[in-house]
């Protein structure tokens, strides 16, 4: 199962009751953070999740509201006695920006490994899950990310017994490993059905709505998408600033066939985003206005 | 009169209900900010004070918890349409650190003028007030600051009438200006008594207690001082980390003969600083544990 927490919902600047937009997920003892604005470490603490276990940080783009909190987070991770390497993934140039910000976080007790993106689309294998990065359309190079937890096929005990596979090999075969035992070789395809639906979360900010987003979010259990403005009348402003209105995000959710949409990255001028939730629901019924630390635990379908 | 707001009380890292230590004052339409950690712009907004009018930012030292929020604040000041120059005062090297952090706040619509300090003590004339900077004793070069609002002598109308000074010259003489009128020259000393007590606020973090602090805070109306630890048993740790316990700060307040002490910059390990207020009061009775956005308006004595 995957714990998902939308750490904040503000765009452009942090507000007293609205942290900057960022996402954190926890899977199998490892945490993923997407974006780290000023104050992101505070909302992680308010949520009660550990900074120590953040193994991967994805940065969508190097605007201040998405990366300004990085040095403070790194300092606090150092204070939590982390020594394991940390991976930072982001658009080409992210290392330069991170290094410049790190003038106040120079000596860290853990290594930082950078993965700079320049592709239109890239799939990255992480510890137990797949990250997909896809290029968005903003004023600077920007990436959306999907976290995908794959799920192998169902284990068929009857077939395992028929093939006289020793019990000691079953659990490794179930994990997809090939096993040698009793002088024979057993492969997962002997006992596993076709791969089953896993878990997919797609995160997408800051960008204009482009068809590629719907392709990359296809079938997601949860699609977290920017909606800078609620009122469709701000469409012109959204185009100018390379952002979206709620209905743009809802249309992407509908086209992608996702299960649920959370809107985020609200303009400071959008005082009550809830007022425009219905506008989004007319296009995609399962639309929800995000709020700080909105949390869900996603499980496999029949768990 | 001088509005004073202790924006936060945390040391080392920002916490969900404790912003990093920083001070803001407002005098005569101009605001002064001392220190700018991650989230300082948020607590300014929570206080409802304007970012736009910050004309001077003093940085005590370039540790992350005292300067990490600078680029975000500058971006937000730019968004508030500020165009007037901003002065940043701090220890030698502050420009290099600020420039490095400004990789996420590169183009600003206002000029930044730096004043780097290397002196043991320096008095700086600002718009209507005096700033005094004095070197502290920390792990890196660090300065304390006093903001002093001077007050001229009382205007003696009887003497003005005796000297046959025209009424039109009175208000300028009262402000300390020399006036030529009706073919004669009038000087302030003809009508003003001796200078009266003004307003003084002294801010002091991070440091060991050294006698110079009491000298520089002498006679302050308000002394805001770090107290990293409440329990005097942490004196050893305070020495090691180059910080103070509450009783160190209280002894400085007593020696300086200040009117009131506010303690701040609490260790995250100090959950309930109020528990140790009495310990400070035994040394200096008018000691108060600070809290986020503790605010006072200081006035001249007989106002």
**Mean pLDDT to the nearest integer, B5-33:** 97
**Mean pLDDT to the nearest integer, B41-56:** 97
Backbone dihedral angles phi then psi of residue B149, each to the nearest 5 degrees: -105, 115
Strands A22-27 and A2-8: antiparallel
A140 at the B interface (CB within 8 A)?
Answer: no
Model confidence over B199-223: pLDDT tens digits? Answer: 999 999 999 999 999 999 999 999 9
**Mean pLDDT to the nearest integer, A119-123:** 98
- In B, minimum Cα distance to A104 occurs at B64
* Cα-Cα-Cα-Cα dihedral sign, residues B217, B40, B78, B45: negative
Residue in A13, A39, A103 closest to B101 by CB: A103
Place of tokens 């007790």: A109
Q: Tell me the two tokens of residue A89.
A: 């993934």
Model confidence over B18-27: pLDDT tens digits? Answer: 999 999 999 9
Model confidence over A58-80: pLDDT tens digits? Answer: 999 999 999 999 999 999 999 99
Name the band, by pLDDT with cuts 50, 70 and 90, for residue A182.
confident
Radius of gyration (C-alpha) of chain B in whole angstroms:
21
Place of tokens 């290397």: B118
**Residue B72 exposed, middle or buried by CB count within 10 Å (0-12, 13-18, 19+):** buried
Distances (CA, A) of B73 to A44, A150, A203, A300: 21, 42, 27, 43
3-state secondary structure chain B: CEEEEEEECECCCCECCECECEEEEEECCEEEEECCCCCHHHHHHHHCCCCCCEEEEECCCCCHHHHCCHHHHHHHHHHCCCCCCEEEEEECCHHHHHHHHHHHCCCCCCCEEEEEECCCEEEEECCCCEEEEEECCCCCCCEEEEEEEEECCCECHHHHHHCCCCHHHHHHHHCCCCEEECCEEECHHHCECCCEEEEEEEEECCCCCCHHHHHHCCCCCEEEEECCECCHHHHHHHHHHCCCEHHHHHHHHHHHCCCCEEEECECCCCCCHHHHHHHHHCCCCCEEECCCCEEEEECCCCC
Q: Tell me the two tokens of residue B63.
A: 């540790």
A271 at the B interface (CB within 8 A)?
Answer: no
Neighbours of B103 (CB within 10 A): 18
Contact predicate A110/A86, CB 8 Å: yes
Residue in A13, A42, A67 closest to B14 by CB: A42
A101 at the B interface (CB within 8 A)?
Answer: yes
- Beta-bridged to residue B149, according to DSSP, are B199
Contact predicate B45/B75, CB 8 Å: no
B67 at the A interface (CB within 8 A)?
Answer: yes
Which of A47, A72, A94 to probe the B interface (max B CBs under 10 A)? A72
B90 at the A interface (CB within 8 A)?
Answer: no
3-state secondary structure chain A: CEEEEEEECECCCCECCECECEEEEEECCEEEEECCCCCHHHHHHHHCCCCCCEEEEECCCCCHHHHCCHHHHHHHHHHCCCCCCEEEEEECCHHHHHHHHHHHCCCCCCCEEEEEECCCEEEEECCCCEEEEEECCCCCCCEEEEEEEEECCCECHHHHHHCCCCHHHHHHHHCCCCEEECCEEECHHHCECCCEEEEEEEEECCCCCCHHHHHHCCCCCEEEEECCECCHHHHHHHHHHCCCEHHHHHHHHHHHCCCCEEEECECCCCCCHHHHHHHHHCCCCCEEECCCCEEEEECCCCC
Model confidence over B237-272: pLDDT tens digits? Answer: 999 999 999 999 999 999 999 999 999 999 999 999
Q: Tell me the two tokens of residue A166.
A: 């020793």
Least confident of A67-81, B69-83, B123-137, B174-188: B174-188
**Percentage of chain A modeled with pLDDT above 70:** 100
**Mean pLDDT to the nearest integer, A120-135:** 96
Name the band, by pLDDT with cuts 50, 70 and 90, for residue B127.
confident
Model confidence over A198-244: pLDDT tens digits? Answer: 999 999 999 999 999 999 999 999 999 999 999 999 999 999 999 99
Instruction: Say which residue, B127 or B82, is predicted with more confidence.
Output: B82
pLDDT at A303: 54
Query: Which ipTM value was assigned to this complex?
Result: 0.92
Model confidence over B93-107: pLDDT tens digits? Answer: 999 999 999 999 999
Contact predicate A224/A202, CB 8 Å: yes
Q: Tell me the two tokens of residue A46.
A: 């308010």
Contact predicate B8/B20, CB 8 Å: yes
Interchain contact, A16 vs B68, CB within 8 Å: no
> In chain A, which residues have their Cβ closer than 8 Å to the Cβ of B68?
38, 71-72, 104
Distances (CA, A) of B130 to A265, A299, B142, B202: 42, 62, 19, 12
Interchain contact, A101 vs B97, CB within 8 Å: no
pLDDT at B45: 98
Instruction: Provide the shortest C-alpha distance from residue A214 to chain B (in Å).
Output: 30
Q: Which of B95, B93, B92 is nearest to B119 (CA)?
A: B92
Residue B302 has pLDDT above 80, yes or no: no
Model confidence over B135-168: pLDDT tens digits? Answer: 999 999 999 999 999 998 999 999 999 999 999 9
Burial profile A285-297: b = 16 or more Cβ within 10 angstroms, e = fewer = eebbbbbbbbeee
- Residue of B3, B35, B55, B65 marked active site: B65
Residue A24 has pLDDT above 60, yes or no: yes
Q: Tell me the two tokens of residue B111.
A: 């000029």
**Mean pLDDT to the nearest integer, B269-282:** 98
- Beta-bridged to residue B185, according to DSSP, are B180
> In chain A, which residues have their Cβ closer than 8 Å to the Cβ of B292?
none
Model confidence over A156-176: pLDDT tens digits? Answer: 999 999 999 999 999 999 888
């Amino acid at each position: 199962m995957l714990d998902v927490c939308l750490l904040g919902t503000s765009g452009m600047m942090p507000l007293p009751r609205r942290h900057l937009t960022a996402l954190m997920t926890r899977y199998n003892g490892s945490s993923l953070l997407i974006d780290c604005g000023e104050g992101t470490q505070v909302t992680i603490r308010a949520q009660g999740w550990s900074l120590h276990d953040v193994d991967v940080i994805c940065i969508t783009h190097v605007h201040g509201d998405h990366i300004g909190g990085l040095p403070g987070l790194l300092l606090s991770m150092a204070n939590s006695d982390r020594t394991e390497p940390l991976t930072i993934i982001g658009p080409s140039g992210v290392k330069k920006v991170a290094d410049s910000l790190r003038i106040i976080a120079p000596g860290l007790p853990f290594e930082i490994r950078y993965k700079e993106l320049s592709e239109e689309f890239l799939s990255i294998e992480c510890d137990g899950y797949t990250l997909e990065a896809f290029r968005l359309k903003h004023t600077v190079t920007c990436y959306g990310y999907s976290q995908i937890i794959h799920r192998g096929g169902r284990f068929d005990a009857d077939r395992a017994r028929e093939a006289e596979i020793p019990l000691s090999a079953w659990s490794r075969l179930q994990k997809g490993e090939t096993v040698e035992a009793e002088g024979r070789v057993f492969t997962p395809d002997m006992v596993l059905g076709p791969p089953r639906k896993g878990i997919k979360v797609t995160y997408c900010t800051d960008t204009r709505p482009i068809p590629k987003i719907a392709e990359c979010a296809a079938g997601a259990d949860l699609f977290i998408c920017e909606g800078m403005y609620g009122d469709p009348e701000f469409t012109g402003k959204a185009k100018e600033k390379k952002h979206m209105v709620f209905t743009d995000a809802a249309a992407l959710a509908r086209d992608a066939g996702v299960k649920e949409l959370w809107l985020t990255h609200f303009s400071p001028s959008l005082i009550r985003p809830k007022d425009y939730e219905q506008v989004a629901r007319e296009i995609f019924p399962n639309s929800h206005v995000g709020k700080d630390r909105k949390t869900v635990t996603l499980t496999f379908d029949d768990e």
